[in-house]
Amino acid sequence: MSKPLSPILAHAVLLAATAVMLLPLAWMVSTSLKQSGLGMARGIEWLPWKDVCYEDGGTIDVVTLGARVHLLPDGKTIEVGLKSLASRSKVTAVHVPEGTFEAEVIAYRVRPVTHDERTAEARWAPWASVQRRIAPRWRNYTEALTKMRFWACLANTLAVTFLGTLGTILSSSLVGYGFARFRFPGRGFLFLVLLSTMMLPPIVTMIPVYLLFRELHWIDTLLPLFVPSWFGINAFAVFLFRQYYMTLPFDLDDAARIDGCTALGIYTRILLPLARPVVATVGIFCFTHYWLDFMGPLIYLNTIEKFTLMLGLYMFKGAYTTQWRYLMAATLVVSLPCMLLFLFGQRFFVRGVVLSGLKV
Amino acid sequence: MSNRRIRESLNGYLFISPWIVGFCVFIAGPMVASLLLSFCRYDPSAVRESVRWAGLANYTRLFTDDPLFWKSLSVTFRYSIVSIPLQLAGGLALALLLNQRLRGIAGYRAAFYLPVVLGGVATSLIWMWLFSSSQGLINIGLARLFDFLGRDSWISIAIARSLQSVFGKVEEGSLLPGWTSSERGALNSLILMSLWGLGGSMIINLAGLQAIPKVFYEAAEVDGAGRWSRFWRITLPLLSPTIFFNLIMGIIGSFQVFTQGFIMTGGGPNYATHFYVLYAYRNGFEYFKMGYASALAWILFLIILAFTLVVVRSSSAWVYYEAQKR
């Protein structure tokens, strides 16, 4: 690490860049908490507002549609849409096609929010009786999750992620053990073949593999998504295990053999337990890989009951294409596990990336 | 061979046997099958399903009679040619910025890497909403900016013109860019979006930077080298293996972009984001022309292989290995 030219300048640059990177995430959170009637406002609104109207001693929720304003320069009274108002104060600038004028708001056009989806009659309410309040709409989350059938999708994703990750760890640690600890004819060549499969675009094998699973009647089941992982074909994982075993001294194996351990026993009792850091790294990588996999589910799954979260989210987007508060709520929930895993397991993330980047 | 050696060999084969089976069933076998399929006509959705040998027909049609093949190839090339250098330079710049001794540097690094763990689907949805031409955060922000500067002021018009030259127009007469909804701007918008994932190459570069022994810098400082020449003469050469790795991964990844085009634009408008893998996917799994899709897949494989080989061959000229601790 180098010393910065000027710490203050460095912080300024980094803070600005971080803000830009995190802005889309902040906008996602903000959108996910908004009330209906989005897009009625002029400008960017980060906080989830709700309008209420005082009436007969109580308040009711309303959506503000427009306003009747008194133009200050010439005293004319006009009605404008809400988007024309620059602010919600009593005296505000109003943007109309003729230009921008100072104006005094007399009344707002409001429509009460009904909870049974019926549209209520819009009416005029005096300026003072309409107020904005910060009101995050938490129900967006429960409603969005119900609509996208979140729990069913979650069960499928958990199954695929768990079985895929477990399969990769077990099979690649076993294959890595074979390559690291035994001498056999063709070892170097086979290892090279294994490494070169990392370069192969999945699209090349996709169609025959699909046809194979179709012959097995595995289409529209979760099996095609995780079964291949049990065959040690994740070259990167095998590579990491093999490299790690190579750093462990052979004396360990010899001592165990003298104590009567078989070759399999050496793997299960000695080497695999010692390879815990690689298990963590490979595990975290596989978890995010299977959690985020989109093309696999897209190709193999047809019925809603079988959908994984990513496919469910994609289908949800197709059905609720303009309901962004629902879409953003669902997106946030679905992405949260990987974000949390990253924030708490950063060490292993970084190690995996570093190993993949520097030793190939 | 002694008995012990034979036993050792057998054990070795036994332990790697899952991979041997997996390699044959899921990689080598399917590769041969898809190569053969690429010379056949095969529609599994047809009433009387049949595989018919078609010779070079698929390939002839691809090259002589399929404008969409050329279109998706050129879209993918344009995406790669712009996004790979941007990723390389951006990832390096970011890594240099984050390789400083500063309070809270770990937090900054985490923030930059966070978007990478969201995955393609979530990223696509978030950016669809940001890019929305009437309600999106970016266009609302720009509209406010133009209001503030005055819609007819020269500076508003200059900003609008330069943005619109890259990202298209919402409609005639509007000052706002059209982003993914305009034919001109869609591909560039997706490239812009790909920069959100810069954290991926940043982390690798950062690891490369930290592997450079400090003595080099200390020696250079003693010799009176400034920041600039230390960067050009120490950092860049010693980081070249990392840049090489990022370049190879960038080529392999960017030729296979799929999710953004599939989810955000559906390949449009007017095929402006019709990526190659999207076209292969549609042929295989939407039109069920599996022979044709296999031919497409093999051509992509050969293209990626060719570019990778060119880069690997050229590496002896620009990748510097000696001082790297291996």
How high is the ipTM of this complex? 0.89
For A93, the domain range is 49-135
In terms of Cβ atoms closer than 10 Å to its own Cβ (0-12, 13-18, 19+), residue B232 is exposed
At residue A127, the pLDDT reads: 83
Checking if the pLDDT of A174 tops 90, the result is yes
In this structure, which amino acid lies at residue B239?
L
Helix (H) or strand (E) run with residue A99 in it = strand A99-112
Instruction: State the best of B121, B127, B296 to mutate against chain A, taking most chain A CBs within 10 Å.
Output: B121
At residue B73, the pLDDT reads: 95
Checking if the pLDDT of A1 tops 80, the result is no
In a domain, A5, yes or no: no
Residue A339, Cα to own-chain centre: how many angstroms? 7
Q: Which of A67-81, A270-284, B248-262, B305-319 has the lowest mean pLDDT?
A: A67-81
> Where in the sequence of chain B do the CATH 1.10.3720.10 domains occur?
62-119+197-318
- Give yes or no: residues A240 and A348 share one domain: yes
- Give yes or no: residues A248 and A348 share one domain: yes
| Residues of A in Cβ contact (< 8 Å) with B91 | none
Angle at Cα A200 formed by Cα A234 and Cα B315, nearest 5°? 105
| Residues of A in Cβ contact (< 8 Å) with B117 | 288, 335, 338-339, 341-342, 349
Boundary-marking domain end, from A112, A135, A158: A135
In this structure, which amino acid lies at residue B175?
L
- Give yes or no: residues A86 and A171 share one domain: no
In this structure, which amino acid lies at residue A151?
W
| Fold entry, domain B62-119+197-318 | MetI-like fold (1.10.3720)
Half-sphere exposure of B236 (CA within 13 A, CB side): 11
| Residues of B in Cβ contact (< 8 Å) with A178 | 11-16, 19
- Are B112 and B202 in contact by the 8 Å Cβ rule? The answer is yes
Task: Give the per-residue SS3 of chain A.
Answer: CECCCCHHHHHHHHHHHHHHHHHHHHHHHHHHCCCCCCCCCCCCCCCCEEEEEEECCEEEEEEEEEEEEEECCCCCEEEEEHHHECCCCCEEEEEECCEEEEEEEEEEEEEECCCCCCCCCCEEEEHHHEEEEECCCCHHHHHHHHHCCHHHHHHHHHHHHHHHHHHHHHHHHHHHHHHHHCCCCCHHHHHHHHHHHHHCCHHHHHHHHHHHHHHCCCCCCCHHHHHHHHHCCCHHHHHHHHHHHHHCCCHHHHHHHHCCCCHHHHHHHHHHHHCHHHHHHHHHHHHHHHHHCCHHHHHHCCCHHHCCHHHHHHHHHHHCCCCHHHHHHHHHHHHHHHHHHHHHCHHHHHHHHHHHHHCC
| Greatest CA separation for chain B | 90
**Span A193-240, pLDDT tens digits:** 999 998 899 999 999 999 999 999 999 999 999 999 999 899 989 998
Number of structural domains (chain A) is 2
| Residues of B in Cβ contact (< 8 Å) with A320 | none
For chain B, first and last CA: distance in Å? Answer: 34
Mean pLDDT computed over B235-257: 89
SS3 state at A55:
strand
- Give yes or no: residues A297 and A251 share one domain: yes
CB-based contact A357 B242, cutoff 8 Å = yes
In terms of Cβ atoms closer than 10 Å to its own Cβ (0-12, 13-18, 19+), residue A170 is middle
- Give yes or no: residues A199 and A131 share one domain: no
Could you give the percent of chain A with pLDDT greater than 90? 40
At residue A353, the pLDDT reads: 66
For residue B182, count other CB atoms closer than 10 A to its CB: 21
Instruction: State the best of B19, B114, B144, B315 to mutate against chain A, taking most chain A CBs within 10 Å.
Output: B19
In this structure, which amino acid lies at residue B279?
Y
Distance from CA of A6 to the nearest CA of B (A): 10
CB-based contact A43 B140, cutoff 8 Å = yes
At residue B237, the pLDDT reads: 87
In a domain, A41, yes or no: no
Cis peptide leading into B237, omega within 30 of 0? no
Better-scored residue on pLDDT, B19 or B46: B19
Tell me which chain A residue has its CA closest to the CA of residue B249: A199
Tell me which chain A residue has its CA closest to the CA of residue B308: A199
CB-based contact A212 B30, cutoff 8 Å = yes
Tell me which chain B residue has its CA closest to the CA of residue A224: B26
CB-based contact A203 B110, cutoff 8 Å = no
At residue A39, the pLDDT reads: 47
Tell me which chain A residue has its CA closest to the CA of residue B280: A203
- Are B321 and B71 in contact by the 8 Å Cβ rule? The answer is no
Angstrom CA distances, B129 to B122, B183, B186, B210, stand at: 11, 18, 14, 38
At residue A110, the pLDDT reads: 84
CB-based contact A295 B130, cutoff 8 Å = no
Distance from CA of A55 to the nearest CA of B (A): 32
At residue A116, the pLDDT reads: 61
Q: Which of A81-95, A258-272, A334-348, B117-131 has the lowest mean pLDDT?
A: A81-95
Residue B223, Cα to own-chain centre: how many angstroms? 41
At residue B90, the pLDDT reads: 93
CB-based contact A11 B293, cutoff 8 Å = no
CB-based contact B102 A14, cutoff 8 Å = yes
Q: Residue A246 and residue A8: Cα distance in Å, rounded?
A: 45
- Give yes or no: residues A151 and A129 share one domain: no
List the one residue out of A306, A265, A326, A15 whose CA is nearest residue A142.
Answer: A326
CB-based contact B137 A22, cutoff 8 Å = no
CB-based contact B125 A1, cutoff 8 Å = no
Checking if the pLDDT of B195 tops 70, the result is yes
Checking if the pLDDT of A42 tops 70, the result is no
Query: CA torsion sign, B219 to B225 to B231 to B237?
Result: negative
**Span B165-186, pLDDT tens digits:** 899 888 887 888 989 999 999 9
Q: Residue A178 and residue A187: Cα distance in Å, rounded?
A: 9
From the list B110, B132, B211, which residue is nearest A343 (CB)? Answer: B110
At residue A37, the pLDDT reads: 61
Tell me which chain A residue has its CA closest to the CA of residue B321: A358
List the one residue out of B213, B203, B240, B249 whose CA is nearest residue B83.
Answer: B249
CB-based contact A204 B284, cutoff 8 Å = no
CB-based contact B18 A44, cutoff 8 Å = no
Checking if the pLDDT of B325 tops 50, the result is no
At residue B326, the pLDDT reads: 43
Q: Where does the pLDDT of residue A358 fall: very low under 50, low under 70, confident under 90, or very high at 90 and above?
A: very low
Instruction: State the best of A23, A87, A169, A207 to mutate against chain B, taking most chain B CBs within 10 Å.
Output: A207
Following CA atoms A296, A301, B267, B283 in sequence, which dihedral angle do they give, to the nearest 10 degrees? 90
Could you give the percent of chain B with pLDDT greater than 70? 98
- Give yes or no: residues A196 and A106 share one domain: no
Checking if the pLDDT of A172 tops 90, the result is yes
**Span A50-71, pLDDT tens digits:** 888 887 778 888 888 888 888 8
Say what the pTM is: 0.89
Could you give the percent of chain A with pLDDT greater than 70? 93
- Give yes or no: residues A166 and A116 share one domain: no
Q: Using the 8-state DSSP alphabet, how is residue B153 labeled? A: S
Residue A59 pairs in a beta bridge with: A54
Q: Residue B188 and residue B192: Cα distance in Å, rounded?
A: 6
Distance from CA of A114 to the nearest CA of B (A): 25
DSSP string, B5-57: HHHHHHHHHHHHHHHHHHIIIIIIHHHHHHHHHTTEEE-TTSSS--EEE-TTH
From the list B10, B26, B137, which residue is nearest A228 (CB)? Answer: B26
| Residues of B in Cβ contact (< 8 Å) with A4 | 100-102
Mean pLDDT computed over B9-37: 94
Half-sphere exposure of A157 (CA within 13 A, CB side): 24
**Span A11-33, pLDDT tens digits:** 898 999 999 999 999 999 988 88
List the one residue out of A63, A153, A139, A152 whose CA is nearest residue A326.
Answer: A139
| Residues of B in Cβ contact (< 8 Å) with A314 | 121, 263
In a domain, A24, yes or no: no
Size of interface A-B (CB pairs under 8 A): 279
From the list B16, B121, B140, which residue is nearest A294 (CB)? Answer: B121
**Span A109-141, pLDDT tens digits:** 888 877 666 667 888 888 888 888 888 888 889
In a domain, A69, yes or no: yes
Q: Where does the pLDDT of residue A359 fall: very low under 50, low under 70, confident under 90, or very high at 90 and above?
A: very low
For chain A, first and last CA: distance in Å? Answer: 24
Q: Report the CATH number at residue A311.
A: 1.10.3720.10
Boundary-marking domain end, from A135, A152, A178: A135
Boundary-marking domain end, from A111, A135, A159: A135
At residue A3, the pLDDT reads: 64
- Give yes or no: residues A83 and A169 share one domain: no
For residue B131, count other CB atoms closer than 10 A to its CB: 25
Q: Residue A88 and residue A45: Cα distance in Å, rounded?
A: 13
- Give yes or no: residues A72 and A164 share one domain: no
Query: CA torsion sign, B97 to B101 to B102 to B104?
Result: positive
Q: Residue A120 and residue A42: Cα distance in Å, rounded?
A: 24
- Are B88 and B243 in contact by the 8 Å Cβ rule? The answer is yes
In a domain, A39, yes or no: no
- Are A347 and B113 in contact by the 8 Å Cβ rule? The answer is no
Q: Residue B252 and residue A200: Cα distance in Å, rounded?
A: 9
List the one residue out of A286, A294, A295, A301 whose CA is nearest residue A338.
Answer: A286
| Residues of A in Cβ contact (< 8 Å) with B300 | 201, 203-204
Checking if the pLDDT of B324 tops 50, the result is no
| Residues of B in Cβ contact (< 8 Å) with A153 | none
From the list A28, A205, A324, which residue is nearest B30 (CB)? Answer: A205
Mean pLDDT computed over A31-48: 72
Mean pLDDT computed over B154-172: 88
